[in-house]
Structure 1
């Protein structure tokens, strides 16, 4: 079980960490997605900070389990909010969203399974 927990946690952290970096450095993809979803571009960096916090929280959860569980839950909520924004904007291109959501949900599930008291 530990190997599954570690692989899923590291994958989720890497995926969200790379998205955070893209947001924070001002890469064009997050900006174009913000435009497509009618989100102000001024939100791109703060959203990147949230993604980065989630990625770091997942890693910290390897040492302090409750942090990993909270980070995974926060990422699941983040991506549920993102789904709402996509739907509100009429943007049904949800492939990237589905990947991020499923990985965040998997991280939450393995966190809860591996650390049931966290």
Structure 2
């Protein structure tokens, strides 16, 4: 069970790093899209990016101390649920052009919960 927990944790850590770094630095197209008119403020986008980076670090640390990994996975799931809400509010699930990108947080939420469960079972 630990191997599965490790694979899910590393996968989520890579996603958290890739998603969080541009937001934390407020560089690239994703932070710009999130800050579009009617979107999120720059400090909130930066906070979300830092939360994703913290989750990535916690998931990697959780490979050595499972309670940290469980907390990081559940925290990342909370951030992802917020992303699902943002996409729902923006109407991305109803639009066929944006639906594909909007499904990523849904799938990653399931992976984050699975990582937390496998970390608990591996300890």
**TM-score, length of structure 1 as denominator length:** 0.83
Partner of 2:55: 54
Partner of 1:99: 107
Q: How many pairs does the alignment contain? A: 115
Structure-2 change in CA distance of 1:106 and 1:34 (3 Å)? farther
Moved over 3 A (4+): none
Tell whether the 8 Å contact from 1:37 to 1:89 is kept in structure 2 after alignment. no
5+ residue gaps, structure 1, are none
CA distance in 2, matches of 1:6, 1:73: 15
SS at match of 2:40: coil
CA distance in 1, matches of 2:119, 2:38: 31
Q: How large is the RMSD of aligned CA atoms in angstroms?
A: 2.0
Tell whether the 8 Å contact from 2:66 to 2:120 is kept in structure 1 after alignment. no
CA distance in 2, matches of 1:98, 1:23: 19
SS at match of 2:36: helix
SS at match of 2:114: helix
**TM-score, length of structure 2 as denominator length:** 0.80
Range that drifts further, 9-18 or 30-39: 30-39
Structure-2 change in CA distance of 1:62 and 1:27 (3 Å)? same
Counterpart check, 1:16 vs 2:16:
yes
Partner deviation per Cα, 1:97-117 (whole Å, 9 max, x = no partner): 2233233222122112213xx
Tell whether the 8 Å contact from 1:13 to 1:55 is kept in structure 2 after alignment. yes
5+ residue gaps, structure 2, are 94-98
CA distance in 1, matches of 2:115, 2:69: 9
